[in-house]
Amino acid sequence: MSDLLAKLYPDHLRTLQQRADTALARGGFDHLLVAAGTPRYQFLDDRPYPFAINPHFKHWLPLTKTPGSWLVHTPGRRPKVIYLQPRDYWHVVPEAPAGYWVEHCDIVIVREPAEALAHLPKDFARCAILGEDNAGVGELRPNNPEAVLAYLHYHRAYKTDHELAMMRVASKLGARAHRAAEAAFRAGESEYGIHMAYLGAVHETESELPYSNIIALNQHGAVLHYTDLNRAPPTHAQSFLIDAGANFHGYASDITRTYAGADADEFQALIDAVDGAQRSFVEKVRKGQDYAALHVHAHHVLALVLRDQDFIRMTPESAVESGVSGVFFPHGLGHMIGLQVHDVGGFQKDESGGTILKPPGHPYLRLTRKLEPRMVTTIEPGIYFIDMLLAELKAKAQAKDINWDKVDRFRRYGGIRIEDDVVCTDTAPENLTRDAFASI
């Protein structure tokens, strides 16, 4: 894998340099400074929160555990990496720079954060400085200029071959761990036990994962971001929803699957229907596809599933128009993914910024741009039985068109979500997730 990444990295770096040059010109700056970041400490304590590196830093370099370091780009020059290797016997010190990227950068080793100042441009006013508010050193503070960020965020949606290679590995790591989690579920493990099986298979700690695992048995699947992890297994496992990913050199995968327990054939039938709908949405990840329109289309298709399986007794059009479909599918169809799970630029109108509004009545959609080749998005439809939303529906006129006996019977299953990471290409979409499952 390292040979492939070494081959792809020079083009990746050139792409980032070209984007940075344009972004600097638009903002009127001479240098781009990217802070890796600084750990934050818990209130009234000396314990740091898990460190999360600046995504702009790991965009340039496959480094995720180098707090206090800097990346400096000046048009026409090689990137400079100011690499902090502190004298420290309390913590593990980052290893000396090594790997396929080092030959393409000028590297300076410093032992104290303040030593970086001697190797940074002197006129801070001419620098676009990207980072968190605590990432400064001396009088240097991030300014995060809007014009620069808007350009970089808009173009970050277009992945280089190097980035796609990273994401394929992240998908394989996640798929392997999903298989281990499913086996643990079949073996009767608790949510906590399934979670531990996942960590063992993915070979990542909780803080290294791209997001907190959602491991939900039975009715817990109706809590969209359920992370409580019961230690005791239920008396009877009716269903299992797992939303969990993996990281590879800072690139994320985001995968969701839902499984029926033994003797839950009716729930399996609904899973199969959602799976078929999800596959049809994946096929629409094509050049020029308006993602917001795809989201609304998904509501119509899922409303048809609900009608065909006798949960609702109204037309799909009526279900969408009245908001009934949103009771069962209350979140967005998906989002951009890459350096961050919910990656930036999903609403951006153009290189200068601006916002493409969400469709009325769909407040939780995270992507409204038209899809283009090299964009990577998730496709994650769902059908849920959420007590709070169902209670609100029961008080409305549309309640007469709901088969409440069947809905109530399905509350014990919680819900269904099926999620793949999908690359828009010039032809058919590349499904990173299903390809990863197939490869193992």
Handedness of CA 366, 370, 371, 375 (dihedral sign): negative
Question: Domain extents for the chain?
Answer: 2-155, 161-439
Return the structure tokens found at 257. 């699957």
* Amino acid 19: pLDDT: 98
* Amino acid 219: pLDDT: 98
Residue 178: name the closest of 153, 197, 204 by CA: 197
- For residue 169, report the phi and psi dihedrals to the nearest 5 degrees: -65, -45
* Amino acid 140: pLDDT: 95
CATH (one of 3.40.350.10, 1.10.10.10, 3.30.980.10, 3.30.450.20) for 2-155: 3.40.350.10
Return d(Cα 139, Cα 136) in angstroms, integer. 7
Residues 6+ apart with CB under 8 A from 18: none
Handedness of CA 183, 188, 191, 192 (dihedral sign): negative
| Run means of pLDDT, 10 residues per run, the chain, 440 residues | 95 98 98 97 96 98 97 98 96 94 98 97 97 94 98 98 98 98 98 98 98 98 98 97 98 98 96 98 98 98 98 98 98 98 98 97 97 98 98 98 98 98 98 97
On the 0-12 / 13-18 / 19+ scale of CB atoms within 10 A, 28 is exposed
Return d(Cα 85, Cα 66) in angstroms, integer. 8
* Amino acid 328: pLDDT: 98
Return d(Cα 259, Cα 333) in angstroms, integer. 20
CATH fold for domain 161-439: Creatine Amidinohydrolase (3.90.230)
Return d(Cα 427, Cα 374) in angstroms, integer. 11
* Amino acid 326: pLDDT: 98
Which residue(s) pair with 336 in the sheet? 377
Which residue(s) pair with 32 in the sheet? 73, 128
pTM summary value = 0.97
Residue 174: name the closest of 197, 206, 201 by CA: 201
DSSP conformation class of 402: B
Which helix or strand (DSSP H or E) is residue 80 part of? strand 80-84
Return d(Cα 258, Cα 244) in angstroms, integer. 12
3-class DSSP state of 419? strand
* Amino acid 156: pLDDT: 98
Q: How far is CA 98 from the centre of its chain?
A: 28
Under 8 Å between Cβ of 412 and 421:
no
* Amino acid 422: pLDDT: 99
Return the structure tokens found at 181. 């989690």
